Structure formats: structure tokens, C-alpha cells
Amino acid sequence: MKASVIVFPGSNCDRDIQVALRHSMGEEPQMVWHGDAEVPRSDLIVLPGGFSYGDYLRSGAIAANSPIMRDVVAKAGQGVPVLGICNGFQVLIESGLLPGALLRNAGMHFLCRDVGLRVENTGTVFTGHYEKGQIVTIPIAHHDGNYFADDATLERLEGEGRVAFRYCDSEGAAGEDANPNGSLNNIAGILNDGGSVLGMMPHPERLADPFLGGTDGKPMFDGLVEALS
């Protein structure tokens, strides 16, 4: 499998995802600078977390207009799987690859802690190594992770099974108490209509090794390698 990680000014999780992919792939992913015009041949493209362009203007808005994103959008249109984590999710929305918006957290504070997630869709290259309804623990670290969409978009996402992950408690209940940022329907991650683009606020790469305190994120990367190799 050939994987490419897009590196923006202000990215601070690009090396984290590099390490997670290396451990699952057994080789180095390609690190691609935002100013490049083209992504090398890739079976997977990852937009990492961080603060691209310092989150000026609006989180992900400037990065979405960087030179490399024109080719990312084009390759996504050709069916190349694209994973956007945290700031990468924001970039996917700003570039039009996913619907909705990511607003300031409901409490107006930066959040950095582990959260519970319920796996809602296992029929994708990203989630095939999880079980439907499985509860996993994945860290969050964001200030603008409050997912919002209009009623028609929410109905479409829910009806088409495009909610990949939902914030939940230890019993799997997706109630208000388990919602860290105010996201509608406790949405933590969504898919495009073809299931080939995933945006999620939690960071699976931060719990993909026992030395990090857990491995609930590792099945995502192992599954991608199995599906795309």
C-alpha cells in the first residue's frame, strides 16, 4: 500500500500519523508538502490534525485552498480513499468533500481528553476491522469540533449510514452527557456518499500503540492496509 500524508504549515500531528501508518504498513508513508501541485501515486491520502495556517480566517479554510488540495479533491473524485483527522476533517469540509460545518465547541473551550466512540458503520475501508456497535476509546484535541448541518443533510447522513462514529458513554449510549463538544446527533465522524472519504475529530493515531496507553485506534490502520494492499 502506498500512503501519502499531506503536510501543512502548522500541522502538528503529521508525524504521529506517519508513525501509526509505518507500524501498520511496514514502510514509510510519503510526506507531501502543501505547496506541491500533485500527490504521488497513492492508495490512501491522509490530512492530519494540527492548526494548518495557524487556524487563521477559519479552521481549515486556508489549507483547503492550498495548491495540493486541488489534486486531493481530484483524486478523491476518482475514488482514492481520503482520511481527514481533526484539522483534516475541517479541511475536508472546507474543500467541499464532506457536508456540514465544524463550529466552536459548545463550551467555548479547547478540549483534550479521551472520549468514548460507538462504531456506526463497518462497511468501509476505514472501519472494516471494527465491529458495528463496538465502543472504543480515542482522544480528542480540538476547539472547533462541534459538528453542525441542516436538517436535510443530517437526515441524509443518518439515512444513508454515513455517520461512521458517534460520541457515547461506556455503555454505548449517545446522550448529552457523552457529547464533549455539542455536535448534532453526537456525530464524531462522517463519510462521503461513496464511503471513500472519512472525516473524524478524534485522533486514532494517538491510541495506536501500547506505549501510548491503548490500541483502539490501531484497527483503523491495520484495516486500511489489508483493504488497500
Q: What is the pLDDT along the chain (229 residues), one digit of tens a residue?
A: 999 999 999 999 999 999 999 999 999 999 999 999 999 999 999 999 999 998 888 899 999 999 999 999 999 999 999 999 999 999 999 999 999 999 999 989 999 999 999 999 999 999 999 999 999 999 999 999 999 999 999 999 999 999 999 999 999 999 999 999 999 999 999 999 999 999 999 999 999 999 999 999 999 999 999 999 9
Mode of pairing for the β-strands spanning 44-47 and 3-7: parallel
Residue 148: name the closest of 202, 198, 190 by CA.
190
Residue 189: name the closest of 197, 19, 216, 68 by CA.
197
pLDDT for the residue numbered 57: 83
Residues with active-site annotation:
86, 203, 205
d(CA 182, CA 145): 8
Burial 135-159 (b: 16+ CB within 10 A, else e): bbbbbbbbbbbbbebeeebbeebee
pLDDT for the residue numbered 39: 98
pLDDT for the residue numbered 55: 86
Angle at 6 between CA 62 and CA 4, to 5 degrees: 155
Residue 154 has phi, psi (to 5 degrees) of: -60, -45
Three-state DSSP state, 46: strand
User: What count of other Cβ atoms lies within 10 Å of the Cβ of residue 31?
Assistant: 15
Going across the sheet that includes 111-119, the strands are: 30-33, 3-7, 44-47, 82-85, 197-200, 187-191, 163-168, 111-119, 135-142
Phi-psi category of 108—alpha, beta or left, where left has phi over 0 and alpha has psi -120 to 50?
A: left
Question: Tell me: domain 3-228, CATH 3.50.50.60, correct?
Answer: no
pLDDT for the residue numbered 103: 97
d(CA 116, CA 102): 19
pLDDT for the residue numbered 65: 96
